[in-house]
Structure 1
Amino acid sequence: MSDGVKIIAAGHYVPASVVDNHQLAAIMDTNDPWIQSHTGIKTRHFSLAGENTSDLATKAAQQALTNANYAAEDVDLIIVSTITPDAQTPATAAIVQKKLGAVNAWGYDISTACAGFVFALSTAEKFIKSGVYKSALVISAEVNTKMMDFTDRTSTVFFGDGAGAALLVADGDQSVIRAEKLQTMGDAETIHSGRVAPISAIKATNYPVTDAFYQSGRDVFEFATTKVPEQIASLLAANALSSDDIDFYIMHQANLRIIETIAENLGQPVAKFRENVSYYGNTSSAGIAMAFAELMNEQDLTGKRLLLTGFGAGLSYGSVILEF
């Protein structure tokens, strides 16, 4: 067994089509000042050229592999976090495995919504620490737009499409994850997507129908600005750390106002909180992964301490402290 797990590279990808608030205002009852004042979002990327979730995931993973000069054939495990898979089966991870040419890897999907990257990092680390596997690609990828109701201005204006990836390998005797706290609150109503009702009779007209994404914005804001800071404070205290001991915070990119409120609750300057929601929108599980990739590719993180926190449908939420 090996206790050493490192993150050696990261990558991210967004579709080419940039959609601003005025374009959404043209098809629904909203406007740019309202969207920016309530969410901080100015633009987002939509997958309008036929790219599905596996395509975005593959391109983010390829960037991570290139950055690490690591061969796809050397990857042992692929975990894809998504709530917008290509299909219910096969797993998006299986499709990504083929597209990457990662012939020696096995893979599967996990679904913890916007907390997915945090949960997937934790999971991959455990596989590597078992000593059975030496490397893992953790990918969060979402094509949220295919699950939106474009008459629902309370949800659709938030979301965009994108993917982020991190490459973990067995190395040394210390794990990059110093501590973690993962929780679930068993709530199926506040946020949900893709519900398929069971049949009620044997009929030739039976056919699966899925519902669009839904969220209760007020309840999400309340949850994110109360329960989430409580979890962060608890995790820090349990590890003899204060909020000042964290160099960078990366929250789920739900909206800018939530990030600002969490920063205030923790007594930290918002400058320590990485954000991409203003230009990518809410990309669900991919938001943290992309913000992490941007940070890792901008600067040397040696000696830095990061706290990543995701929260979303489930209600599932989790935090990890990373030390490089």
Structure 2
Amino acid sequence: MTIRAVVKGVGHYLPERVVPNSKFEAIVETSDEWIRSRSGIERRHFVAEGQTTSDLGTRAAQAALADAGLTADDIDAVIVATSTADLTFPSAATMVQAQLGMTHGFAFDVQAVCAGFVFALTNANALIISGAARRVLVIGAETFSRLMDWTDRGTCVLFGDGAGALVLEAATGDGTNADRGILATDLHSDGRHKDILYVDGGVSTGTTGHLRMEGKEVFRHAVEKLAETAHASLAKLGMSGEDVDWIVPHQANIRIIEATAKRMQVPMDRVVVTVQDHGNTSAASIPLALSVGKARGQIKPGDLVVTEAIGGGLAWGSVVLRW
């Protein structure tokens, strides 16, 4: 018998404020057509004044717990993937833990920018298969609207706020590819590429800073590395794109999503796409898409799902799981 980390529940939360592309026409030199044609984004959600990343994460966690038929008392650990924690410290995860009413277990953040949720899932999987935790809440939550330079049309139109969450639970499997749960993971980073995607603030500057990105370079790395990491995870299982029911990619740009699917030889009708409605929500984008994909009736029990993401660092990776 093999211990697997199985998805027990999924949920998401989006702030109430919806911002269509047209809103940016009065801020920077852009248009709805320009944004759509280059990114596929039509609208995104922004947090309200006083609303925090941990608030979003808590709401998504509550939705995932309800979907799983569990309460916070059933959870052993909380992992929050985020680059926009409420404070420098303590972690957003401990704040979610408190808002959920948990006074037991442990909580911590994972910071790998847009790849954060893949890194968090991999950590949660390791905790479960090692026996350190039986049930783990894995959350991606971001308030990237607070990092935007509103004079930079190349970045400010791309990002949104939101949160998604999964409940992972230990279960026994036969040790085959037919098992439910996380089957394979693949993680990478390369700090030499820091300058193509970063925030120019932090404790060294005494400022929050703004997101800075060299879009063409990020695009090039993303298309190359996302397909490679997805193939690497599948190869560990002796599988290929033909075996995949759904790709649930990081929702950064429709052109990156399409190019990656093409390299994996997976048709777009087997790719969950939400970028048009949410924009790039960084570490929240994959759990958001998983939750929406289930709600749409796309992702069903037994489906083989591949998630892959790349973010600042550069950091990138993938997870193969059976729903």
- The TM-score normalised by the length of structure 1 is 0.93
Deviates more, 1:52-61 or 1:182-191: 182-191
What secondary structure, in the 3-state scheme, does the structure 1 residue paired with 2:36 have? helix
- Counterpart of 2:277 in structure 1 is 279
Q: Which structure has the larger Rg?
A: 1
2-structure distance, mates of 1:4, 1:266: 26
What secondary structure, in the 3-state scheme, does the structure 2 residue paired with 1:3 have? strand
Q: Which amino acid aligns with 1:138?
A: V
- The TM-score normalised by the length of structure 2 is 0.94
1-structure distance, mates of 2:234, 2:134: 29
What secondary structure, in the 3-state scheme, does the structure 2 residue paired with 1:133 have? coil
2-structure distance, mates of 1:131, 1:235: 23
2-structure distance, mates of 1:127, 1:267: 33
1:181 aligns with 2:179: no
Q: Which amino acid aligns with 2:63?
A: Q
What secondary structure, in the 3-state scheme, does the structure 1 residue paired with 2:289 have? helix
Change (3 A) 1:120 1:28: same
Change (3 A) 1:196 1:5: closer
Q: Which amino acid aligns with 1:167?
A: V
Instruction: Report Cα offsets for 1:295-320 as digits up to 9, x if no partner.
Output: 23444622210000011111111111
Indicate conservation of the 8 Å contact 2:242/2:266, yes or no.
yes
Q: CA deviation at 1:240?
A: 1.5
Within-5 A mapping of 1:29-44: 29-44=29-44
1-structure distance, mates of 2:153, 2:287: 26
Q: Which amino acid aligns with 2:199?
A: S
- Counterpart of 1:157 in structure 2 is 157
2-structure distance, mates of 1:130, 1:197: 35
What secondary structure, in the 3-state scheme, does the structure 1 residue paired with 2:280 have? coil
% same residue: 38
- Counterpart of 1:319 in structure 2 is 318
Structure 1 portions without partners, runs of 5+: 200-207
Q: Which amino acid aligns with 1:74?
A: D
1-structure distance, mates of 2:236, 2:144: 36
Q: Which amino acid aligns with 2:197?
A: I
- Counterpart of 2:303 in structure 1 is 304
1:219 aligns with 2:217: yes
What secondary structure, in the 3-state scheme, does the structure 2 residue paired with 1:93 have? helix
1:241 aligns with 2:239: yes
1-structure distance, mates of 2:203, 2:140: 27
- Counterpart of 1:115 in structure 2 is 115
- Counterpart of 2:207 in structure 1 is 209
Q: How many residues align?
A: 316
Q: CA deviation at 1:169?
A: 1.2
Indicate the RMSD between aligned Cα atoms, in angstroms: 1.6
Indicate conservation of the 8 Å contact 1:3/1:175, yes or no.
no
Change (3 A) 1:233 1:134: closer
Change (3 A) 1:142 1:197: closer
What secondary structure, in the 3-state scheme, does the structure 1 residue paired with 2:252 have? coil
Instruction: Report Cα offsets for 1:127-164 as digits up to 9, x if no partner.
Output: 11122321110000000001111111100100000000
2-structure distance, mates of 1:4, 1:210: 39
Counterpart among 193, 198, 215 of residue 199 in structure 2: 193
Indicate conservation of the 8 Å contact 1:247/1:272, yes or no.
yes
Within-5 A mapping of 1:86-165: 86-165=86-165
Q: CA deviation at 1:49?
A: 4.0
What secondary structure, in the 3-state scheme, does the structure 1 residue paired with 2:248 have? strand
Indicate conservation of the 8 Å contact 1:97/1:105, yes or no.
no
- Counterpart of 2:176 in structure 1 is none
Q: CA deviation at 1:113?
A: 0.6
1-structure distance, mates of 2:267, 2:132: 41
Indicate conservation of the 8 Å contact 1:53/1:142, yes or no.
yes
Indicate conservation of the 8 Å contact 2:229/2:308, yes or no.
no
1-structure distance, mates of 2:128, 2:86: 27
Structure 2 portions without partners, runs of 5+: 174-178
Q: CA deviation at 1:233?
A: 2.3
2-structure distance, mates of 1:49, 1:68: 31
- Counterpart of 2:268 in structure 1 is 270
Q: Which amino acid aligns with 2:313?
A: G
Q: Which amino acid aligns with 2:316?
A: Y
Indicate conservation of the 8 Å contact 1:2/1:170, yes or no.
no
Change (3 A) 1:13 1:194: farther
Indicate conservation of the 8 Å contact 2:78/2:97, yes or no.
yes
Q: Which amino acid aligns with 1:165?
A: A
